[in-house]
Amino acid sequence: ISKYINENIYLLDGPIIDATILIENKDSIHFIIDYFGNNARIYKKNDKLYADIKCNENALFYWYMQYSETMTIISPRSLIERVKKEAYKIFNKY
């Protein structure tokens, strides 16, 4: 049950993906642990913090939109493109 909840944080339909996120603010680590638990692997590489996350793609998209100020998606490319498209739509609203 725990694995399922961590992979489907908002209980949305969609495929489970592997994603890598750059953590730009170390205080944001607790957001990753709280939401993804053991489905996230946090590590340091070249003096930067990263998280590898296994999660439902739709849920990860909406989660990331909440925390985009302190993190950057590194992969997969499809999620990066989806975030860019949504950011563009939001920008054009205002």
Share of the chain above pLDDT 90, in %: 74
Determine if the pTM surpasses 0.75. yes
Residue 61 pLDDT exceeds 70: yes
| Strands, E assignment, the chain | 16-23, 40-45, 48-56, 71-75
Residue 15 pLDDT exceeds 80: yes
**Least confident stretch, 5-9, 40-44, 59-63:** 5-9
Whether residue 4 contacts residue 38, with contact meaning beta carbons closer than 8 Å, is answered with: no
- pLDDT for res 81: 97
Number of H helices, E strands in the chain: 4, 4
Q: What number of CA atoms fall less than 13 Å from residue 5's CA on the CB side? A: 7
In whole angstroms, give the CA distance from residue 46 to residue 90.
Answer: 33
- pLDDT for res 14: 82
- pLDDT for res 11: 66
